[in-house]
């Protein structure tokens, strides 16, 4: 009969740990190579705009690198990709199509927020800032 096996199951479950994870007090186990937030490493980016062309939801815009950052010579047009995380679908097309493999991938999945977020800060943090003295540039992250 079907009733008896379920009874055994119920008794077993009363004495075992509940299956729900009390997020956000506990962490959910996520794989290290799950597809999370990605951003461009500007020390490798050449400003070719391929990621902008190929992005399916058109979440990437190219912007000029602001003053005060040391731009590598290979980025002739001095532009860099800014990812709008609200439009991004995390398909990683930009990651796979970049000719210099300039995208840094993480498994950061906690991306809900009130204010619009994009990758400006993260990308710019990969460049060194130009210092006021004309000798060597100072590193900044």
Partner 1 sequence: MTEEVSKVDKVVEIPMTVEIPVGPQHPAVHEPILIKVYAEGEYVVKAEAYTGYNHRGIEKLAEKKSFYQDIFLCGRVCGICNAVHADCYVRALEHILDKEPPPRAKYLRTLAMELERLHSHMLVLAVTAEIVGFDTLFMHMMRDRELIMKAKEIVTGNRVLADYIMVGGVRRDLNSEKIDKLKKILTKVEPRIRYYWRVFEEDVTLNKRLVDVGRLTPVQVTSHGLLGPVARASGVATDSRYHDAYDAYAEVPFRIVTRKEGDCWARSLVRFEEMQVSLEICRYILNHLPEGEAVPDERRLPRRFPEGEAFTTVEAPRGELTYYVMSKGGVNPYRVKIRTPSYNNIINTVPFYVGHTIADVPTILASYDPCISCMERVTVIDLRRGTRKKVSMRDLARG
Judged by the rule CB under 8 A, the positions of this chain that interact with partner 1 are: 1-3, 5-6, 9-10, 19, 30-31, 33-35, 54-56, 89-93, 96-99
| d(C-alpha 5, C-alpha 11), whole Å | 10
**Cβ-contact 120, 88 below 8 angstroms:** no
CB of 96: closest distance to partner 1 in angstroms?
Answer: 4
End-to-end CA distance of the chain: 66
Contacts of 70 by beta carbon, 8 Å cutoff, 6+ apart: 127, 128, 129, 130, 137
CB of 31: closest distance to partner 1 in angstroms?
Answer: 5
* Nearer Cβ to partner 1 (55/79): 55
CB of 139: closest distance to partner 1 in angstroms?
Answer: 31
* Nearer Cβ to partner 1 (12/134): 12
């Amino acid at each position: 009969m079907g009733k008896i096996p379920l009874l055994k199951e119920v008794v077993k479950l009363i004495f075992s740990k509940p299956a729900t994870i009390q997020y956000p007090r506990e962490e959910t186990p996520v794989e290290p190579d799950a597809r999370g937030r990605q951003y461009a490493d500007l020390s490798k980016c050449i400003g070719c705009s391929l990621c902008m062309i190929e992005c399916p939801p058109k979440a990437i815009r190219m912007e000029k690198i602001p003053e005060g950052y040391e731009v590598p010579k290979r980025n002739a047009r001095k532009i860099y990709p800014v990812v709008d995380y609200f439009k991004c679908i995390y398909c990683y097309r930009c990651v796979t199509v970049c000719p210099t493999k300039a995208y840094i991938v993480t498994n950061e999945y906690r991306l809900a927020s009130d204010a619009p977020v994009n990758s400006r800060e993260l990308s710019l943090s990969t460049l060194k800032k130009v210092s006021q003295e004309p000798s060597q540039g100072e590193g900044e992250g």
